[in-house]
Structure 1
Amino acid sequence: MTSVTTNSPKSTVPKEMSIFSHVKFEHLIAGISGGVISTLAVHPFDVIKIRFAVHDGRMQTTPKYSGIANAFATIIRNEGIKGLYRGVVPNVWGAGASWGLYFLFYNALKARLQKGNTDMQLSASTHLIAASEAGCMTLLITNPLWVVKTRLCLQFDAPTQTYNGMFDTLVKMYKTDGIRGYYKGLIPGIFGVSHGAVQFMVYEEMKKYYSYYYNQPISTKLGTVEYLTFAAVSKIVAASSTYPYQVVRLRLQNQHYSYKGAWDCVKQTWIYEGWRGFYKGLGTNLIRVTPATMITFLTYENISHLLLKYSVNKIVN
């Protein structure tokens, strides 16, 4: 009887509070750390993927590469090592902010659904919804950084270089296109929220079934191999199933060509390139995003567990 009365009105009030009552900035710090470290490690593949994705065979100003190795060699020969790191600053900012905010929002939404009980199991559809909401919130904040990164990565040689770094790009974009320029590719980006949603759903489900199989709480810290495996599988599933939106989004952000909108981009890609056009750069993307995601999630899981453990011990002591 005592346990029932202690769980009445007084203890349920915090559980019904807004999402902000479940915000833990440990997830933000851990997410930023994972995003920054992984981005610095694999940025050259990102540059190559973007250049593959925007090449539709019609723009003479866009370099054409016969493969990943040829792309590396050509960029280094024509632009030097720095060519492989074009757009790295906004990419680091964007990835750090995106992963940090995504993990922050996602865990806050999940904690609200769990009513503060981190060992409460949620369904696959619930994970999908929480991840979608977190993705939309993150995209609205970080889209300008992705537009800047894309434009810097698409500066091929001296005659076409119109931007001198992240802040110069932000200023020039505003002068040319106003606030709207910062949100080019937003519509396909919103559709692309499904990518993160699928990834987090698969990742969470794998962790859930693993914990169930070994009869342990789902909040239990797992080993390095488990985190790396779950991250790799979830990213491959998500990337393969949602890649076309990335091609459309990148082409809309490309300063060398102009489309009337997302639907016009889709139509032109289909007319001139067929279904293959929507999967340009997928191989490079998988080579880049799979290890990047593995690094991100491993870093995030270890740092978040460490910070949360420290916070609990600090409260107890």
Structure 2
Amino acid sequence: MSSAPNHGSVNVTETGLPGTPVAGRFQRVFSHVRVENLVAGLSGGVVSTLVLHPLDLVKIRFAVSDGLELRPKYSGILHCMKSVWHQEGLRGLYQGVTPNIWGAGTSWGLYFFFYNAIKGYTKEGRESELSAVEHLVSAAEAGILTLTITNPIWVTKTRLVLQYNADSTSKQYKGMVDALVKIYRHEGVPGLYRGYLPGLFGTSHGALQFMAYEELKRDYNKYKKVPSDTKLSALEYIAMAALSKLFAVATTYPYQVVRARLQDQHNKYNGVIDVIRRTWRNEGAIGFYKGIIPNLIRVTPACCITFVVYENVSRFLLGKK
């Protein structure tokens, strides 16, 4: 199965050329689309982002801490948060929150939207459960589609989070829309898609997380001798989400450092290989794991909140329908 038929199926049907089965597959995928999954995922992403955005700001500032003089120096998570609070107050801790809400809400909404449609298409006409590999592939395809739509939002978030109060020249963006316009005006479409390549690798993060989450839920329900789609308690969803997130973060974190550095406006790299080479040369292996502690502290509860909200909202909406 592949997500590639997207545009190709339209061309086939409009031109009348052979290959209509491609269009048929495209239509069958969309027969599994549920707006409820989009709304539920968006709700989970927005709630978790509002609660935990300050930790995301800390994570990004640590991820790009490569020794440039203009960057503030922090000794730890609490020191970073206190410094930002003293200099800029609550508003400083929520720099970049607008694109983060848009990005997280849209990403989670689209991810669940695409993932459930692809998963439904893959399972169509089958009695058996999907395998771990099929869950992995479905989640990876959903991740690629989601990233392609949302990457410009993540670039603006990174730029806004990296506006340091001590350096007046770096305060070049007034907000999300202003950042989008200026990035496009000065850097074009490539500027809006900085970090896209490591982001594509990052879809493996979501794929591994969803695979682990699905497998944990299924095995747990088998252990309890109940149907695999049985509703779990909030605490059980939290446990499954936390374990799957920890597994995914531990496996794929370095790509987030590479991506953040490519999107950083204070340093120039000539691509992914240049980031990897310079980070390794100047900081060693530990450089690829900068910010992982605040990241784990942030993403684990964020994931738990997102999945609990998603599972309950989707069941409510789909049950109501």
Structure 1 length normalisation: TM-score?
A: 0.91
2:124 aligned counterpart, secondary structure: coil
Are 2:96 and 1:81 aligned? no
Deviation string 1:274-303 (CA, Å, 9 cap, x unpaired) is 000000000000000000000000000000
Q: Could you tell me how far apart the structure 2 residues matched to 1:81 and 1:214 are? A: 46
Which residue, out of 160, 168, 173, partners 1:152?
A: 160
Alignment of 1:213-292 (within 5 A): 213-292=223-302
Deviation string 1:101-144 (CA, Å, 9 cap, x unpaired) is 00000000111111167x84111111000000000000000000
Are 2:41 and 1:31 aligned? yes
Q: Could you tell me how far apart the structure 2 residues matched to 1:139 and 1:287 are? A: 23
Tell me the CA shift for residue 214 of structure 1: 1.8
Q: Could you tell me how far apart the structure 1 residues matched to 2:280 and 2:106 are? A: 33
Are 2:74 and 1:65 aligned? yes
Alignment of 1:1-317 (within 5 A): 17-57=27-67, 59-115=68-124, 120-157=128-165, 159=168, 160-311=170-321
Q: Could you tell me how far apart the structure 2 residues matched to 1:211 and 1:71 are? A: 42
Q: Could you tell me how far apart the structure 1 residues matched to 2:289 and 2:172 are? A: 28
Tell me the CA shift for residue 215 of structure 1: 2.1
Query: Kindly tell me: are residues 116 and 286 of structure 1, through their superposed partners in 2, closer, same or farther at Cα, counting changes over 3 Å?
Result: farther
Q: Could you tell me how far apart the structure 1 residues matched to 2:197 and 2:91 are? A: 31
Deviation larger for 94-103 or 73-82:
73-82
2:31 aligned counterpart, secondary structure: helix
Q: Which runs of 5+ in 1 are unaligned?
A: 1-13, 312-317
Contact 1:121 1:208 in 2 (8 A): no
Tell me the CA shift for residue 78 of structure 1: 1.6
Aligned residues with identical type, % of pairs: 55
Contact 1:40 1:92 in 2 (8 A): yes
Query: Runs (4+) of structure 1 moved beyond 6 Å?
Result: none
Equivalent residue pairs, number: 296
Structure 2 length normalisation: TM-score?
A: 0.90
CA RMSD of aligned residues (A): 1.4
Q: Which runs of 5+ in 2 are unaligned?
A: 1-23
